[in-house]
Amino acid sequence: MKLIYTHENRFLVGNAHNILEQAGIRVVWKNEFASSAIGEIAPFDTWPELWVVDDADYDHAIQIIANALSAPNAPEWICRSCNENNDAAFETCWNCQTDKTEMAQ
């Protein structure tokens, strides 16, 4: 297993997780619920981590994440539930996890 992505915002990690699963890549969480331990250990150690199960998928997964997180021309979308701006790469609102496809157009 290899670490593919980590961020202090677990919703961003969740979006990366969704993107990779949709691409057929098996990934697992580590530290998903570590935020309850804040105060006991250094903040960085509590960041949720996304790990690729099969090392052979790593290079592919890195590309998918890089593409998804750096789509400069893709329009942002605004969550209908909480009005937060979301990057176009994300399928769910980073703030409240409302699904993008539930947006009224």
Asked whether 86 and 100 are in contact (CB, 8 A), the reply is yes
Candidates 26, 67, 96, 102; binder of Zn ion (CB under 5 A) is: 96
Token readout for 68 is 């998804």
> 54 vs 102, which CB is nearer to Zn ion?
102
- Provide φ and ψ at 6, rounded to 5°: -145, 145
Region 45-74 residues binding Zn ion, contact defined as CB under 5 A? none
- The pairing of beta strand 27-30 with beta strand 2-6: unpaired
Q: How far apart are CA 26 and CA 16, in angstroms?
A: 12
Examine residue 81 and tell whether it contacts Zn ion (CB under 5 A).
yes
Cα 36 to Cα 45, 47, 100, distances in angstroms: 12, 11, 28
Q: Does 77 bind Zn ion (CB under 5 A)?
A: no
- Taking the complex as a whole, the smallest distance from the CB of residue 87 to Zn ion amounts, in Å, to 13
Indicate which single residue of 9, 54, 82, 102 sits in contact with Zn ion (rule: CB under 5 A): 82
For residue 98, state whether it binds Zn ion (rule: CB under 5 A): yes
Could you say whether residue 18 binds Zn ion (CB under 5 A)? no
Residue numbers at the binding site for Zn ion (CB under 5 A): 79, 81-82, 84, 93, 95-96, 98
